[in-house]
Amino acid sequence: MNKVVEVKDLVKKYPGFQLGPIDLEIPEGSIVGLIGPNGAGKTTLIKSMLNLVHRDAGMVRIMGMDLSKNEREIKDIVGYVGEHQYFYEDKRVSWLGNFVSSFYSNWNNDLFRELLEKYQIDPKKRARELSKGMRVKLSFAIAISHNPKVMLLDEPTSGLDPIVRREILEEMRNIAGDEKRSVLISSHITDDIDRIADYVIYLLDGKVALYSEKDSLLAEWKRIHYVDGELPDSLQNSLFDKTETAFGNSGITSKYSELKALLDPLLQEGRVKVENLGLDDILICLVGKCKK
């Protein structure tokens, strides 16, 4: 599969914090969710991928172009929505659309107008008159209207109501659905990531702790509920975050496929139960908040 985005040995240092070295690739037509605790470096990573902050080392290639040499061309094909929206506050939405259109070679004004209507943004309103959610939606409309090949989204859905959030996520699915475009989206709303992502990156303390296909990740991480004495010791010992439950005991495995053959007969007899985990549960374990 082609790589739309390649990041190699990327390092960004701040006093008391270092992002990287980061290596990652985003395949064509995929949505990658970026998950991590506050301060893990998600914003720094996304900004470094667009030269919005200057990296100390490493390489970023987008659609085969090197960010050090082709920054302009790259910005033309990347749609970015950041945590904060900066507009000329006294200008009207229609003016802003017109203004930004001049920076992009593939600007689609019909699409921009369609999106404003869909997101119920009055083109006559001035930026300062828009609500927080409307500002995010306007940023999306702008990012999508220049037909980007890659979308880099930094916590884009946090201020949005559930209806618009769903719409925006759907839009991202459509963008990735044409197989040629890709999305990297950071969010603390792991439900959103769960809903749309094909891959998940866990970023902890500036490093990629885990990068996996989402479905296989969720297939491997399970909580096993068992009654004492029902599980072979070796299996019990391989579990972590052991907790007493109404069923008896429980513990987490991150390698369910390796235990499945042993567990299947017990499952059939109802002596063991298997519970699915969410992306949040996995994050909590990865940051070391699970019992060993």
The single-letter DSSP state of residue 92 is B
Site for ligand ATP in 55-74 (CB under 6 A): none
Give whichever of 167 and 280 is closer to ligand ATP, judged by the CB atom. 280
CB–CB of 45/152 below 8 Å? no
Given the complex with ligand ATP, which of 41 and 97 has the nearer CB atom? 41
- Residue 14: CB minimum distance to ligand ATP, A: 3
Told to check if 240 binds ligand ATP by CB under 6 A, we report: no
In 10 A of CB 57, how many CB atoms?
A: 12
Asked if 193 is part of the footprint of ligand ATP (rule: CB under 6 A), the reply reads no
> Peptide bond preceding 21: is omega within 30 degrees of 0, i.e. cis?
yes
Binding mask 4-33 for ligand ATP (x = CB under 6 A): ----------x--x----------------
Whichever of 94 and 158 has its CB closer to ligand ATP, that residue is: 158
- Asked if 44 interacts with ligand ATP (CB under 6 A), we say yes
For 171, phi then psi, to 5°, come to -60, -40
Question: Nearest approach, Cβ of 38 to ligand ATP (angstroms)?
Answer: 3
Kindly list the distances between the CA atom of residue 22 and the CA atoms of 8, 46, 56, in Å, as whole numbers in the listed order: 6, 12, 12
Q: Is 36 in the site for ligand ATP (CB under 6 A)?
A: yes
Residues touching ligand ATP: how many (CB under 6 A)? 10
Half-sphere exposure of 292 (CA within 13 A, CB side): 1
Residue number with CB closer to ligand ATP (47 or 181):
47
When asked if residue 40 is in the footprint of ligand ATP (CB under 6 A), the reply is: yes
Kindly state whether residue 105 participates in binding ligand ATP, applying the rule CB under 6 A.
no
Contact flag: residue 39 with ligand ATP (CB under 6 A): yes
DSSP letters spanning 184-232? EEE-S-HHHHHHH-SEEEEEETTEEEEEEEHHHHHHH-EEEEE-TTSS-
91 DSSP 8-state letter: S
Q: Phi, psi (5° rounding) for residue 270? A: 75, 15
Name the residue nearer to ligand ATP (CB basis): 43 or 190. Answer: 43
Q: Taking the complex as a whole, how short is the minimal distance between the CB of residue 261 and ligand ATP, in angstroms?
A: 39
Decide: is 43 part of the binding site for ligand ATP (CB under 6 A): yes
Q: What is the 3-state secondary structure (H, E, C) of 29-58?
A: CCEEEEECCCCCCHHHHHHHCCCCCCCCEE
Main-chain phi, psi angles of 201, to 5 degrees = -110, 130
Closest distance between ligand ATP and the C-beta of residue 202, in Å? 11
Residue 97 binds ligand ATP, judged by CB under 6 A: no
Backbone phi and psi for residue 96, each to the nearest 5 degrees, phi listed first: -60, -40
Rank residues 201 and 266 by Cβ distance to ligand ATP and give the closer one.
Answer: 201
Q: Which residue, among 117, 129, 120, has the nearest Cα to 91 in the 3D structure? A: 129
Closest to ligand ATP by CB, 39 or 265: 39
- By CB under 6 A, name the binding residues for ligand ATP: 14, 17, 36, 38-44
